Amino acid sequence: MENTHYITSDVLSIELIQQIISNQTKLALSEEAQLNIDKCREYLDQKMAANDDPVYGINTGFGSLYNVKISTENLTKLQENLMKSHACGTGDEVPHEIVKIMLLLKIQSLSYGYSGVQLKTVERLIDFYNCDVLPIVYTQGSLGASGDLSPLAHLCLPLIAEGEVYYDGFRQPAAKVLNKMGWEPITLQSKEGLALLNGTQFMSSYGVYVLIKAMKLSWFSDLIGAISLEGFDGRKEPFNELIHLIRPHKGQIITAQRMLEFLEDSQIVAQPKKHVQDPYSFRCIPQVHGASKDSIDYAKKVIKTEINSVTDNPNIFIESDVIVSGGNFHGQPLALALDFLGIALAELGSISERRTYQLISGLRGLPAFLVDNPGLNSGFMIPQYTAASIVSQNKQLATPASIDSIVSSNGQEDHVSMGANSATKCLKIVENLERILAIELMNASQAIEYRRPLQSSEFIETFLKSYRAEVPLVKEDRILHYDIENSIAFLNSFMLDESIFE
């Protein structure tokens, strides 16, 4: 089939997920994945038929109820009860884009053949994905330790015709949509509910979504920083590779090289300067932006490992003839990485706002607040307030969630990661960063007009020409809310070379 991604054991990368989402690619199981799923399920059925011993989550209760043995005739009821009882989510709905990634990652994890699910269960999840039948999932309810139990319960309830889905433009009961599509509810077999609910796909999906935005905004931070430097009549010497080769952090070197590329053949940066050096928010762009790049790269490695892993429990190992109960569902690696990522993104916003502040301060020949007739016009006075308030919120959101833990399940789950809170906070931080950068772009593009008739680099001038088609120059006061929103939309719509995601 054209435009189809076949689920295999090959490594699933952030870049591949980006392509699958962007191209609206359909999913299908490879023969390898189908075989893995069938073999594991067949092994589990044979094992259960030949052995009546209690095996956690398969013929026992869950959590602190692990010692309660469940009779064979009640195993389907056990799994359905698990799904229903754990659907305790509340708060905001998870964005549709992230729900779709959750489906993809849950399908990927189940396809490896260590979870014991039925083939038709995974195929139905693929049906949901391909037909845009998106379960309603809530942001609050996961401790990020025994998997993302509550969010994944809501994700998988529609399999048994429970819960709600978003389909055909509105929210509706899952049972109604299944009937419309001609899909019979899945009859869950032993262990299936636990396989569906255990896992880190809520945290991982937020991580993937934030990473895709973060890599794009990291690039924009450099570009908008370069435009601000031009507007501020800054110097390019701090980007000389000699400085960075003697402190060779990867992100720092990449940032300095990128800044020089953006500024290549600029008349503004080449003109004689009256000042010897620039404030840190300009001079230390490679060091600050670069450190955030390295942090993003670390988070990317952790999340890439996670999305190519099996994170439910217990796990079934056919070749070793053993079913092992462990803790791969614990979200600690993600919790730490997402907290780190959030801090790194908050810092990109923090230094961006400082550049905005410098630009409106009436320095280096720029008018106060970047507008003619300051006093009569307030110009860009208040957008800086807005950026400052968002930066302050990001500082609060960047407080790590992973340092917290609350005992649950009657003491059985006595250390939890709180990675789900890390994930939802991280999304808010990256969305805030986008707004902060949009405000800096407004200011930087305004400031550079006061350097005319000198021209910046060809690349920057081309970029600004596209931007000016959406957000005109401010000549006198107007409602700047619309400029901020149009600037955000411009950044979202601007197509970037996919190499920035590598």
Active site residues: 56
Q: Where are the beta strands (DSSP E) in 277-415?
A: 315-317, 322-324
Q: What is the largest CA-CA distance in the chain?
A: 87
- Residue 152, phi then psi, degrees to nearest 5: -75, -30
Query: Is 315 in contact with 403 (CB distance < 8 Å)?
Result: no
- Residue 278, phi then psi, degrees to nearest 5: -110, 160
d(CA 436, CA 461): 21
Query: Is 325 in contact with 59 (CB distance < 8 Å)?
Result: no
d(CA 398, CA 473): 34
Q: How far apart are the first and last CA of the chain?
A: 27
Beta pairing class for 138-140 and 134-135: unpaired
Q: Cα dist. 428→90, 95, 265, 305, 461 in Å? A: 17, 12, 38, 24, 31
Number of residues written out for the chain = 502
d(CA 136, CA 95): 9
Is the bond preceding residue 472 a cis peptide, omega within 30 degrees?
A: no
Is the bond preceding residue 286 a cis peptide, omega within 30 degrees?
A: no
d(CA 122, CA 133): 14
Structure tokens at 383: 């957008």
Query: Is 218 in contact with 501 (CB distance < 8 Å)?
Result: no
Sign, CA dihedral 489-493-496-500, equals positive
| DSSP assigned state of 447 | H
d(CA 58, CA 60): 6
- Residue 172, phi then psi, degrees to nearest 5: -155, 165
d(CA 430, CA 58): 40
d(CA 462, CA 189): 59
CB-neighbour burial class of residue 93 (10 A; exposed 0-12, middle 13-18, buried 19+) = middle
d(CA 53, CA 138): 37
Coil vs helix vs strand at 183: coil
- Residue 399, phi then psi, degrees to nearest 5: -60, 125
Coil vs helix vs strand at 481: helix
